[in-house]
Structure 1
Amino acid sequence: MSIDTEDQAALRASVRDLLSKHSDSAAVRAAITTEIGYDAALWSKLCEQIGVAALAIPEEFDGVGAGLGEVHVVQEELGRTLTPSPMLGSAILAAQALLLSGDDDACSRLLPGVASGESTLALCWAGAAGWSTFGVEATEDALIGTASYVLDGHIADTLLVLTADGFYEVDPAAEGVSRRRVPTMDPTRTLAEVTFSGVRGRPLEWSEDLVDRIRTVVLIALSAEQVGAAAAIVEQTVEYTKSRKQFGRAIGSFQALKHRMADMYTLVETARSMTYAAVATQSADDAAVAKVYCSEALQQITSEAVQLHGGIAITWEHDAQLYFKRAHGSAQLFGQPSTYLPSLAQAAGL
């Protein structure tokens, strides 16, 4: 089911067509072995031919000025193919952090390059314990500490550092900055640790609610990606059960398996509804609900997919294990689902 507008449907078709030609399973597997963790040529095509990085950037900063609905479409399609790219980390998380800060000067300097796909940003935010803490501290003179789980932090052209007391721009080549790509459970997602040892950052505009506003946007974008991955692995599982035979019959004809796949499909459509509701309201609570539901739905769906495929699903050659790893990796991103439940319960008066 889709509730795309005419323009969104055209955008979806364009992205899906391009990814079908340049981001099949073999291409994804080749991309994750590169030093940068994604296919730079494909990213250039997505930016130049479709303008994906420019979607949520206002026209005054050389963007398209579209909304989260269009971002949702692109994220779904990237999730379907598990395509590694700087979309979530640079074009959404970091770019939106800069926009939400209200610092027009920084936006004018940095966002045109992001919109064109020529440069990337990375938001340094979380501490080792996760996104409820800050990894870097701002003293009177400098930035000190280590930001963990930084999306594309090892290759970004500019670092944006979010602390408890301010927001800063840092040149990754500055003295005192060190960064390294870290191993991840999900090989299609690159994360880095970025350490600041007495580094002077350029102060940016900042407000106390900036973290909550950033979190709302990125949770919506992440949930859209999860929906795309869930829909794709359900489709692949259905196709597999049509061809795999046991006792002289396709296993997809067995009533018990039909029921399990119907439940998987229901989870996908419910998750999609959750994300569209969050897009419509752009409220923190709806974004958190989408994060929790879509994370748990994708984990359940990929677990079912592995069981329905059988032993082949856990081999490196099969894509089911990549979707399984994406499910569990993305569930941890920006906080485990369980971390959002107390505030949601409080908001519901429970």
Structure 2
Amino acid sequence: MSTQPDLLHSEEEEALRAAVRDLLTDHCRPADVIARVESDTPHDVPLWKTLADGMGLAGLLVPEELGGQGATHREAAVVVEELGRAVAPVPYLTSAVVATEALLACGADDLVAELASAASIGALAVGLHTAPGAPFAVVRRENGVLTGEVTAVADAAIADVLLVPADDGGLYAVRAPAAAVTAQVSLDLTRPVARVRLDGAEGRRLGDAGPAVRRALRAGAGLLASEQLGLADWALTETVRHLKERKQFNRPVGGFQALKHRLAQLWLETVNLRAAARNAADALARGEDADVAVAVAQAYAATVAVHAAEEALQLHGGTGMTWEHPVHLYLKRAKADSIAYGTAGAHREALAWLVDLPGPPAAPEPAP
């Protein structure tokens, strides 16, 4: 029997939020993130170790008998939202959510335990742009080895184990030393993407790629909405704070009616995104109507996150245009997220079919 979703956070979820936010306030300052993405090591490994090992967050979605926390997607969404607020350059979404979901689908308990304990970082070797249920690139499996390449794999550069789909329908675990990982140009410097090339690499078959990849990408898309909520909420909060402090003609800029209207509109959009993101996380946790909830959230989230970041950039004036101000990190992450795990258009199309409201048929070709 289905139950009504509860979109309010429990006391435990609020406590988790406070703990993660406090940690990120101390260890993920905007200036440090900017300095890191300018370096050759964009990933913040010490922060990841603290989150994954020190706080045990890498194993939130992993059952307790496999060394995890036995929590649900609701708790994971709280963590992802806070990481979005800080644009933290850590592989949480890609390893603790997407790769972990793929491994759970295959029953690869030993690798699940590795990721849960933070002994390894995992990455699903599927392009970051791939929507749940969409076709994805595969490599060739011949004579017991894997050959081929996959592009735009998020956080592949830091992964210890790559989960690679092959043309025989299997999902294979390939240890990082057996793959050639080459960085690609990425708009979002806090979540680098890379080309993964295999040239006769050995891999361990874990299970069927189709259902595992679909499950992983659905969870990734659903919790990405929480990341986009964190981005939008930070942009709104910081913009309101700035406009209260910034003065023009001896009065706070935020007092001008035109700016109030823009902020009010952004607040409404953010509130709606909060409902959609929490509903997606709750549906994933309950296993009820998850496909619809995820599609609804992603059909809406990208527009709001990008709009919030654009408004933050514009309303910060000249300050927002400087490299030293972190707003550009949020705009780039929001833009990159808008195509991650499927565009809003792809999710709207999927939603139409899920609720049996497909679009009109294509017009016939004109006669010659």
TM-score, normalised by the number of residues in structure 1: 0.92
**Letter matched to residue 208 of structure 2:** W
User: 1:156 aligned to 155, 159, 182, which one?
Assistant: 159
Q: How does 1:53-68 map to 2 (within 5 A)?
A: 53-68=58-73
**Letter matched to residue 199 of structure 1:** A
Q: Please say if 1:302 is aligned against 2:302.
A: no
Aligned twin of 1:269? 271
Q: What are the superposed Cα offsets for residues 34-83 of structure 1, whole Å, 9 maximum, x if unpaired?
A: 44422222222212332111111111211101000000000011111111
**Letter matched to residue 52 of structure 2:** C
| Distance in 2, Cα, partners of 1:237 & 1:315 | 15
Aligned twin of 1:9? 14
Q: Calculate percent identity across the aligned residue pairs.
A: 37
Contact 1:134 1:163 in 2 (8 A): no
| Distance in 2, Cα, partners of 1:49 & 1:204 | 29
| Distance in 1, Cα, partners of 2:52 & 2:201 | 32
| Distance in 2, Cα, partners of 1:152 & 1:36 | 12
User: 1:168 aligned to 168, 172, 175, which one?
Assistant: 172
User: 1:211 aligned to 210, 213, 219, which one?
Assistant: 213
Report the secondary structure of 2:33's partner residue: helix
Contact 1:136 1:196 in 2 (8 A): no
User: 1:241 aligned to 239, 243, 249, which one?
Assistant: 243
Aligned twin of 1:335? 342
Structure 1 residue 19: Cα displacement: 0.7
| Distance in 2, Cα, partners of 1:310 & 1:163 | 49
Aligned twin of 2:261? 259
Aligned twin of 1:126? 127
Contact 1:135 1:145 in 2 (8 A): no
Structure 1 residue 307: Cα displacement: 1.8
| Distance in 2, Cα, partners of 1:138 & 1:47 | 33
Contact 2:31 2:326 in 1 (8 A): no
Structure 1 residue 210: Cα displacement: 2.8
Highest RCO, 1 vs 2 (Cα 8 Å, sep ≥ 6): 2
Structure 1 residue 240: Cα displacement: 0.7
Aligned twin of 1:69? 74
Query: Once structures 1 and 2 are overlaid, which stretch shifts more, 62-71 or 244-253?
Result: 244-253
Contact 2:127 2:150 in 1 (8 A): yes
Report the secondary structure of 1:173's partner residue: helix
Contact 2:120 2:160 in 1 (8 A): yes
| Distance in 2, Cα, partners of 1:278 & 1:14 | 23
| Distance in 2, Cα, partners of 1:24 & 1:248 | 31
Which blocks of at least 5 consecutive residues in structure 1 are unaligned?
Answer: none
Report the secondary structure of 2:119's partner residue: coil
| Distance in 2, Cα, partners of 1:222 & 1:14 | 20
**Letter matched to residue 19 of structure 2:** S
| Distance in 2, Cα, partners of 1:64 & 1:35 | 33
Aligned twin of 1:31? 36
**Letter matched to residue 144 of structure 1:** T
| Distance in 2, Cα, partners of 1:36 & 1:97 | 27
User: 2:188 aligned to 172, 186, 189, which one?
Assistant: 186
Contact 1:178 1:194 in 2 (8 A): yes
Structure 1 residue 207: Cα displacement: 5.9
**Letter matched to residue 80 of structure 2:** Q
| Distance in 1, Cα, partners of 2:76 & 2:261 | 33
Contact 2:96 2:115 in 1 (8 A): yes
**Letter matched to residue 195 of structure 1:** R
Contact 2:36 2:42 in 1 (8 A): yes
Structure 1 residue 288: Cα displacement: 1.7
Report the secondary structure of 1:125's partner residue: coil
Report the secondary structure of 1:4's partner residue: coil
Structure 1 residue 94: Cα displacement: 0.7
Number of equivalences: 342
| Distance in 1, Cα, partners of 2:176 & 2:233 | 38
Aligned twin of 2:331? 324
Contact 2:103 2:212 in 1 (8 A): no
| Distance in 2, Cα, partners of 1:140 & 1:48 | 38
Structure 1 residue 130: Cα displacement: 4.7
| Distance in 1, Cα, partners of 2:125 & 2:255 | 50
Contact 2:31 2:324 in 1 (8 A): no
User: 1:51 aligned to 43, 56, 61, which one?
Assistant: 56
Aligned-pair Cα RMSD in Å: 1.9
Aligned twin of 2:87? 82
**Letter matched to residue 257 of structure 1:** L
User: 2:147 aligned to 144, 148, 151, which one?
Assistant: 144
Structure 1 residue 172: Cα displacement: 2.1
Structure 1 residue 137: Cα displacement: 2.5
Aligned twin of 1:117? 118
Contact 1:14 1:50 in 2 (8 A): no
Q: What are the superposed Cα offsets for residues 184-228 of structure 1, whole Å, 9 maximum, x if unpaired?
A: 101111211101123232111226433322221111121111101
Which blocks of at least 5 consecutive residues in structure 2 are unaligned?
Answer: 1-6, 285-289, 359-368
C-alpha spacing 1:89/1:36, structure 2 compared with 1 (3 Å): farther
